[in-house]
Structure 1
Amino acid sequence: MSQQLDLASLLAHPANGGLRPVAGTDDSPWSDVVVDSVEARLTAQGDATTDSALGILTVEPPPTSWQQDALIRRVRDRGYRALAMPGADHFGAGSRILADRIGLMLLNTDDPMVLAKACWQLLEGRDALTLGYVRRVAQSIEYHADNLADLLRHLSSSVGHGIALIDAEGVLLQAGGGLPDAVHAAIDFGPWLDTVTVADGSAASVHVDSPSRAGLRLAFFGAGLSALQLSALAVAAEVAMPAVAARILIDEVADVNDAAVASALMRDFLEHRDGRDAELEQRMVDRGWRTSGHHLGFRIVGRTRVDTFQLLRFVTRELGSLPMDSHAVMTGSGLIGWLSFTSPQSPSEVEAHVAALRAVHTATRRGFNVATGIGSPENGSAGLVTTIAGARDAARIAVDRSATGWFVRIDALGLEQLLLSWTESDTFVPAAQSLLAPLVSAAPELLPTLTAYLDHESGIAATADALGLHRNTVSARIARTQELLGLDLGDPEVRLALHLACRAVRG
């Protein structure tokens, strides 16, 4: 045989006959592999101090300890540094110590002939090893896969190594283990094919030819892989890639359709907020949307043009790491979403949830120019509508708030700021009525006086002339208005908000 074989690559082989170490620590490469059913027919390897070979016996070890010791000595004297056989686990403790002392590694194999085939592939059968991987990939593709994750599971299980769909930022999906960070960092995203080996493991990756998602690679990975195995896995990855790319497209079409259905469902829910619709509520339950309980809404909106579907994909992935029930749907130029809880949340818990959403916002802004608004905690189906409406209002303000990092929480805003944001929403009139309710209940003349006062640019004399009142009367009414509302009419923003509210209430 012209190559050398090491234990790590043999253990990494997906079809190694159930190989596992039993005793011995000398794992230096082997220059030859000999298979036989009788220990006496194992070919002598010459100088036992320099040569190294793996012997494979197809029979179990003898039952007594002295016979086991004798077998170990004879195999080592013939120049072998490793012995694999079925039932090697039955070697006694004394025999294992002896093997370790004289430099013979003992290996257990459930199927010696399968192990021998794996050794041949790694030493001489480069094409056979590659063909074996390719055949397993083809068999995996023949199976029906429910989605991309299911396809990756099939591929990993058949090939016998981990598999991951990655981009430059990290791992998007994986099966059969976790791709080490150091391996991901070493992968070159430029060439069509790439193989890397670092201390933490190895990977063979190929560029994924996907028209909708640039910068993807498909990687087979594992520990202890030899250069021969990496080369074979690179071919396997190249064969698997078209099926993965096609599955990405199929799933993406399905995801777009599902996102459109979810968006329409949320629109129907918000439009029917004043009445119960059993069929609508059942559709929401079927999607896993719980309207009962307690909710915290949020709105993420593009400050410039954004791909809302890709935004939804990213935000959904970020929300998936939060230890709570979360949902997000596309709407308009961004998303609306909410967190749901079975019990009321304490102020400290609400603060923690807001902080988590801020972290999602920060991560999202690395790839999307967005602003985020957070609603107030609310309860029940009507509360879900309210918190989403509040989040929309907060997002409308957040678009212009660079000082807050384009992140605004509605509970941190003054009512006058909310009124300015609400003028374009159907929540403006109820909010205006709520703001001015103290005037209506205290004295019917206060609201008309305030309206005239604001119409005449806060001029006492002009207001008195318009209403046919004495200026002292107007001054008294305005002072009373400020007292009832608790607002400073000297603030231009307050005056603007009140003016808008007066116009809305008086029609």
Structure 2
Amino acid sequence: MAAGPTVADLLADPLLSGARTLAGHAGLERTVTDVTSHRGTPFDVAGHLVVCDAGDTTPAYRLDSLVRRSQEAGAAALCVMTTSADRPPLSAIRLADRLRIPVLWAVAEDPFRLALDLTLRVRAPEVLRARAVETLVRRLGTRTQGPDLLAAARDVLAADISLLTPDGSVILGDPVPLLGTLRAELAVPQRTACLVAHPVHPSGGDEPSRPAPVGAWLVWPYDRADGARADTVALGLAVLEPFVRSWLGAARTRADHDTAARLRLLEEVLAGGATVSRGVVERAVALGWRLEDWHVGLRFLADGPGPPGTDAAELTAALSRHGLDAQTVAEHEGAWAAWTSSVRRPAPDDPRRLLRLVRRALAELPSRGRLVAGIGWPHQGPGGLADTLDEANNAAQLARAREFRPAVEHTDKLGVSRLLATWQQSDVTRAFAETALAPLRSPDQAHLLTTLRVFLENGGSATGTARALGLHRNTVSARLRQVRERLGVDLDDPSRRLALQMACRAL
């Protein structure tokens, strides 16, 4: 038989959420084996939580006597039930500290019900567990939306439950940094010293005989909980899981339908060019697409095989955080078309601003090392949208050839980029590169060569280099000092920087 909860465990339980420990903190790790109500006469209370009414503590000498008798009888703790927050006499508190017996002061609207629940909590926790599950099922049966489901479970279980993606991103609830303590490869319910977690599998698995990959995790982080409390929450998560799975499946189906509809509409706009039908215009207006405005196209591509680890909503949110109100359409896995629209033609300096903002947005994404982007030139009308997206696609293809990430190219620079590509592929440039960068080409100097290359591609900005490499700015500065010493060049000289940049690209 498992050991009972400690006094500290009961204090961490929602049943005693309104209780305070007034004295005897040194005895909080005592094990509670039972709950007994005080009836004014001595009796065997060894290991018990002695519950009494506030009337048993007045006048002051009665509480003092009760504390002493409880300690002598071996009680685990004394809990005073009251409907007011008035504190007991100081003398009794000091006595309890000397005797090392915890004195709990519990404010409750219904002390009798609280005493009964505490008795069940210690003697038969499975009864409270069954009561919680019954209440939870009844509450969940009337809800269909994820936030409502989670709110009901939080209320019934009195636990801060969250719904997270497998990589730890929040779907519902609060962030949980402890997700890394789980064994993610095991798609089964898990419990650690600070976390209870239950997997949410995707609906409609292809192979029912094999566990499907985890689509999300229902988790409850806690500072302290005994086995009975953790078992109750774990069972509650298991009850909640099919409801959440159904909601996620329905949401995914709606998202797939919306994505397909947006893609079909974009294909019709691009195919129609300057002449699109009235029906297309009406559907575009319903989605908030302003086809007659000025458009700047954006194309995002995954850099390499495999899932990119992001979606259109996440990409749109990242752009929005940096002031870019863009329409985003997922064309296929690993490719997105996006565009910004404005009534007036964008200003001449807009390309530089867009480059900076898109680069920052990509740097924030979990898949920042896997995405590149291209930006088109401003064009007006439905036909202009097709033109700018085509330009953005060409720019994105060029960005894929860059070695640093996140790589973002603007179509305005494509002519210069092609010219530079011709130079850097010449034999003369390669020979210069092998000679000029020889001090940095050994394996132990590879980090310096990478830092130099990213520094030059970021226009000589140490801050931009640190952001691109995920390093502290002081680390980048220290590496650049080493580069200067080994190459013997002045990196502040624009001509030297251009020559070195061509050498890095040639290699």
Equivalent in the alignment of 2:90:
94
Decide whether aligned partners of structure 1 residues 206 and 404 sit closer, same or farther in structure 2, where only a CA change above 3 A counts: closer
Distance 1:271 1:243 in 2: 42
Matched, 1:355 2:355: no
Which residue number corresponds to residue 237 of structure 1? Answer: 237
Secondary structure of residue in 2 paired with 1:89: coil
What's the offset of the Cα at 1:238?
A: 2.9
Question: Are 1:23 and 2:22 an aligned pair?
Answer: yes
Asked whether the equivalents of residues 11 and 19 of structure 1 are also in contact (C-alpha less than 8 Å), the reply is no
Does 1:312 find its partner at 2:312? Answer: yes
Give 1:259 shift: 1.4
Q: CA contact under 8 A between 1:294 and 1:342: conserved in structure 2? A: yes
Aligned CA distance change for structure 1 residues 361 and 68 (closer, same or farther; 3 Å)? closer
Contact 2:49 2:78 (C-alpha < 8 Å) held by counterparts: yes
Q: How does 1:293-442 map to 2 (within 5 A)?
A: 297-302=297-302, 311-312=311-312, 315=315, 325-331=325-331, 334-338=335-339, 350=354, 352-359=356-363, 363=367, 365-366=369-370, 371-375=372-376, 388=389, 390-399=391-400, 401-405=401-405, 407-410=407-410, 413-415=413-415
Quote the residue 1:493 is aligned against.
none
Determine the C-alpha separation between the residues in 2 that align with 1:39 and 1:379: 87
Cα deviations by residue, 1:154-213 (Å, 9 ceiling, x for unpaired): 3333322233344542244233x442x23x122123445443333xx2214246254467
Moved more, 382-391 or 26-35: 382-391
- Kindly state the Cα deviation for residue 267 of structure 1 after the two structures are TM-superposed: 4.7
Quick check: 1:312–1:330 contact (8 Å CA) kept in 2? Answer: yes
Contact 2:374/2:411, CA 8 A, preserved across alignment:
no
Equivalent residue letter for 1:162: D
Alignment of 1:186-205 (within 5 A): 186-191=181-186, 193-198=188-193, 201-205=194-198
For the structure 1 residues 116 and 317, does the alpha-carbon distance in structure 2 shift closer, same or farther, using more than 3 Å as the test? farther
Counterpart residue type for residue 87 of structure 2: F
> What is the distance in 1 between the residues matched to 2:309 and 2:264?
14
Is the contact made by 2:270 and 2:382 (CA closer than 8 Å) also made in structure 1? no
**Deviation at residue 42 of structure 1 after TM alignment:** 7.1
Confirm or deny: 8 A CA contact 1:141 1:243 kept in the other structure: yes
> Taking structure 2 as the reference length, what is the TM-score of the superposition?
0.63
CA distance in 2, matches of 1:320, 1:101: 61
Which amino acid is 2:133 matched to? V
For 1:407, give the aligned amino acid. A
| Structure number, greater radius of gyration | 1
TM-score, length-normalised on structure 1?
0.63
Q: What does 1:286-297 correspond to in 2, within 5 Å? A: 287=287, 297=297
> What is the CA–CA distance in structure 2 between the aligned matches of 1:19 and 1:342, rounded to whole Å?
58
Go from structure 1 to structure 2 and tell me whether the alpha carbon gap of 1:116 and 1:3 turns closer, same or farther (over 3 Å shift). Answer: farther
Question: Which residue type is aligned with residue 356 of structure 1?
Answer: R
Q: Which residue number in structure 2 is paired with residue 132 of structure 1?
A: 131
Aligned AA (1:336): A
Residues 92 and 349 of structure 1: is their aligned pair in 2 closer, same or farther, counting only changes over 3 Å? Answer: farther
Report if the CA contact (8 A) 1:167-1:216 is conserved. yes
Match of 1:158 in 2: 156
Q: How many residues align?
A: 402
Q: Distance in 2 between matches of 1:102 and 1:361?
A: 57
Please tell me whether the aligned partners of residues 295 and 385 of structure 2 are also in contact (alpha carbons under 8 angstroms): yes
Distance 2:17 2:154 in 1: 18
Q: 1:356 to 1:2 in 2, by over 3 A?
A: closer
**1:142 corresponding residue in structure 2:** 141
Partner residue, 2:471: none
Amino acid at match of 2:254: A
- Deviation of 1:54 after TM superposition, in Å, equals 1.8
Instruction: Check conservation: 1:39, 1:75, Cα contact below 8 A.
Output: no
Alpha-carbon distance, 1:375 to partner: 4.0
1:353 deviates by 1.2
d(CA) in 1 for partners of 2:342, 2:135:
45
Q: Deviations over 1:54-75 (max 9, x none)?
A: 2223556656656655554555
Partner of 1:253: 253
Distance 1:349 1:101 in 2: 69
CA–CA distance in 2 between the matches of 1:189 and 1:121? 36
Flag the 1:284–1:418 CA change in 2: closer, same or farther, 3 A: farther
Instruction: Decide whether the 8 Å contact of 1:295 with 1:384 is kept in 2.
Output: yes
What is the Cα deviation at residue 142 of structure 1? 0.2
How far the C-alpha of 1:410 sits from its partner, in A, is: 0.6
> How far, CA to CA, are the matches of 1:40 and 1:379 in structure 2?
89
Question: Equivalents in 2 of 1:342, 1:325: separation in Å?
Answer: 13
Other structure's SS at 1:354 match: helix
1:413 deviates by 1.5
Residue 29 of structure 1 and its aligned partner are, at CA, apart by 2.9
1:208 is matched with: 201
Q: CA deviation at 1:21?
A: 1.4
Partner residue of 1:105?
103
In the TM superposition, residue 92 of structure 1 has moved relative to its aligned partner by: 4.6
Q: Percent identity among equivalent residues?
A: 19
User: How far does residue 34 in structure 1 lie from its aligned partner after superposition?
Assistant: 2.9
Gaps of 5+ in 2: 206-211, 420-507
Cα offset, 1:258, TM superposition:
1.5
| Aligned-residue offset at 1:248 | 2.1
SS in 2 for 1:363: coil
Long gaps (5+) in structure 1: 46-50, 420-507
Partner SS state of residue 338, structure 2:
strand
1:68 to 1:235, Cα distance in 2 relative to 1, 3 A: closer
Is the contact between residue 354 and residue 374 of structure 1 (CA under 8 Å) also seen in structure 2? no
Distance 2:268 2:80 in 1: 68
The offset of 1:272, in angstroms, is 7.7
- Aligned to 1:393, the other structure's residue is in SS state helix
Secondary structure of the residue aligned to 1:144 is: coil
The 1-side partners of 2:296 and 2:19 are apart by: 53
Cα deviation, residue 90, structure 1: 0.8
SS in 1 for 2:30: coil
8 A contact 1:19–1:109 mirrored in 2:
yes
Query: CA 1:188/1:408 → structure 2, altered by over 3 Å: closer, same or farther?
Result: closer
Matching residue's letter, 2:30: P
What letter is aligned with 1:141?
L
Rate the CA distance shift 1:206–1:189 in 2: closer, same or farther, 3 A: same
SS in 2 for 1:106: strand
